[in-house]
Amino acid sequence: MFIRRHLATITCILALTVVNGVGFADQDDTLRTDDAIQKAIAEHFDEDETLRGRDVSVKVSNGIAMLDGPVASLYEQERAAQIASTLKGVRAVVNTTTIKSDTRPDGELTTDIVRALTRDPATESFEVDVKAVGGAVTLIGIVDSYSEKLLAGQVAKNIRGVHELKNELQVRPDYQRSDKVIDAEITRRLESDAWVDHRLVRVLVDDGHVRLQGVAGTLAEKDAAEIAAWVAGVKSVDVSELKVDWKSLDQARRESPFAVRANYQIKDALADAFRLDPRVNRFAIDIDILAATVVLSGEVHNLAAKRAAEQDAYNTVGVTKVDNRLHVTVPQRREDGELAEALQAALARDSISSVGEIRVSVNDAVATLAGEVDSAFVKQRAEAIASRVRRLRDIDNEIEVAERGRIVSDLDLKYSIKNRMYWSGYMDSREIVVRVDQGIVTLTGEVDSRSAFDMATKMAVDAGAKEVRNRLLIRDVVMGS
């Protein structure tokens, strides 16, 4: 079976927690005790659109978070661990949650995964064998990069009925790269990754075996550094000497601010990101920087590639704004009815969007999504699935999100946002001012990156803001070429 390429992006990860009984925790770092962390994780689960209502128990001992209880899907199981890993003070996560959902027949599950892989424009050329036994899925085969391996695994995990994934895909070895070349590329990737603070990370390479030493601010950041280290020629990555210590990293950030990046550095970093991203590396994408804005132009053959290129740009240190002028051209047209059937089938296969009432129509290769779902996440998920349907030119997402029926006072809203920022490993809450007036939130102050800027907006929205006026300044601005 053939499947084409992708990059498993570290998903944007958020710590969105309100901590009851901790007071206005904005200033006092000593309040991040095990009890406080435990409350923070539990509150975060209650606020999360996918985990709200799940009976997941949390215990924290010496910074190690232990999660237990039933969840409905593999996505929810991984989401729980992901949430905990973003909080300052969490050094490790032990996830013993169990998936409580009906087991699909092995043949049916295998067929759906094979279809998903072969019909995704990023994975259709990969050579992957799929085996499913009682909801446990194994992927076997050879791919060209670690990013391709991660993507194939992500596509499989998204399928309804997958309870466990064993990703045994092997990366085709590259014996031509010296340790020096590998070291240099990993260093560049860490320096350019908006989700990793590279200043306290040391890279060591010996015969293709990589060791990362130093400090990461959160467990999620440590995981991101590990993924960034998997470049061509790497045989193994050891992060056991990369310690999670938010205090050391906060101190380093205050004492040594990020260096401003020149235009050529950003363009080089983004070109590297495109080269390593299997979703976009087949296309010739032009990169320009005009008035501190990254401009992407050229042609791609699917919507997923256009969106991936923009996300790659925002994930690059120094990028504060992206003007995505990429044009989606469809080499071979498909009938609208055929496209609608393909999209409906893709939504039905997915473990999340399959539970929503989503209507699909296609006119001139433009898909319209309609209906009502329980959360903005499901709405966004449906659009992401549609973007991966081959030969769709555009998407009109008219899905409505059911009202939560939750009224939040200005004082409670401000408290919630500040506490979310307090626990986040991607910003310093002491440098952000939150003002709330009749549900309208205004953010002022400074953050280190565009990623943190966007995260602050999402924190306010998820806390219940009617409108967010984000006036944060981004330190890591672009200087002249």
| Model confidence pLDDT, tens digit, residues 244-264 | 998 877 776 665 555 567 889
Beta bridge partners of 294: 289, 322
* Residues 147/133/51/422 CA torsion (nearest 10 deg): -40
What span, in angstroms and rounded, lies between the C-alpha atoms of 175 and 196?
28
Cα R_g (the chain), whole angstroms: 22
Nearest CA among 233, 176, 243, 244 for reference residue 210: 233
What's the pLDDT score for residue 155? 95
What's the pLDDT score for residue 406? 62
Work out the average pLDDT over 194-210. Answer: 92
- pLDDT more than 70, % of the chain: 89
What's the pLDDT score for residue 404? 65
pLDDT of 23 higher than 70: no
Q: Are 376 and 348 in contact (CB under 8 A)?
A: no
Q: Are 13 and 220 in contact (CB under 8 A)?
A: yes
Residues 6+ apart with CB under 8 A from 273: 192, 312, 313, 315, 316
What's the pLDDT score for residue 323? 96
Calculate the average pLDDT of the chain: 87
CA 16 to the chain's CA centroid: 15
Q: Are 394 and 303 in contact (CB under 8 A)?
A: yes
Fold match, 261-328 / 410-479: yes
- Min mean pLDDT across 176-185, 239-248, 455-464 is at 455-464
What span, in angstroms and rounded, lies between the C-alpha atoms of 74 and 413?
31
Q: Which helix (H) or strand (E) holds 49?
A: none
Domain 410-479 has CATH 3.30.1340.30: yes
Each residue's pLDDT tens digit, 34-88: 999 999 999 889 888 888 888 999 999 999 999 999 998 999 999 999 999 999 9
What span, in angstroms and rounded, lies between the C-alpha atoms of 451 and 321?
10
- Ranges of each domain in the chain: 1-172, 179-255, 261-328, 336-392, 410-479
What's the pLDDT score for residue 308? 95
Decide: residue 21, CB within 10 A, 0-12 exposed, 13-18 middle, 19+ buried: exposed
261-328 CATH: 3.30.1340.30
What's the pLDDT score for residue 312? 94
Q: Are 278 and 249 in contact (CB under 8 A)?
A: no
Beta bridge partners of 212: 203
Q: Are 23 and 296 in contact (CB under 8 A)?
A: no
pLDDT of 416 higher than 70: yes
pLDDT of 187 higher than 50: yes
Each residue's pLDDT tens digit, 205-235: 999 999 999 999 999 999 999 999 999 899 9
Per DSSP, 425 falls in state T
pLDDT of 479 higher than 80: no
What span, in angstroms and rounded, lies between the C-alpha atoms of 233 and 289?
31
What span, in angstroms and rounded, lies between the C-alpha atoms of 352 and 377?
9
Confidence of residue 9 (pLDDT cuts 50, 70, 90): very low
What span, in angstroms and rounded, lies between the C-alpha atoms of 290 and 478?
10
What's the pLDDT score for residue 22? 40
pLDDT of 126 higher than 70: yes
What's the pLDDT score for residue 326? 97
What's the pLDDT score for residue 18? 35
Each residue's pLDDT tens digit, 325-378: 999 998 888 899 999 999 999 999 998 876 668 999 999 999 999 999 888 888
What span, in angstroms and rounded, lies between the C-alpha atoms of 426 and 472?
14
Residue whose tokens read 């499901």: 378
Would you state the structure tokens that stand for residue 434, as one six-digit string?
A: 């939150």
Each residue's pLDDT tens digit, 450-474: 888 988 998 898 888 888 999 998 8
What's the pLDDT score for residue 354? 66
What's the pLDDT score for residue 443? 97
Each residue's pLDDT tens digit, 290-299: 877 899 999 9
pLDDT of 241 higher than 80: yes
What span, in angstroms and rounded, lies between the C-alpha atoms of 372 and 250?
42
* Higher-confidence position of 250 and 301: 301
Q: Which helix (H) or strand (E) holds 167?
A: strand 164-171
Per DSSP, 354 falls in state G
Would you state the structure tokens that stand for residue 298, as one six-digit string?
A: 């050229």
What's the pLDDT score for residue 28? 54
What's the pLDDT score for residue 252? 67
Confidence of residue 29 (pLDDT cuts 50, 70, 90): low
Side-chain half-sphere of 170: how many Cα atoms within 13 Å? 6
What span, in angstroms and rounded, lies between the C-alpha atoms of 144 and 414?
47
Integer CA distances (angstroms), 135 to 48, 156, 356, in order: 25, 11, 22
**3-class DSSP state of 133:** strand
Q: Are 272 and 188 in contact (CB under 8 A)?
A: yes
pLDDT of 91 higher than 90: yes
* Residues 43/48/50/54 CA torsion (nearest 10 deg): 10
| Fold classification of 179-255 (topology level) | GMP Synthetase; Chain A, domain 3 (3.30.300)
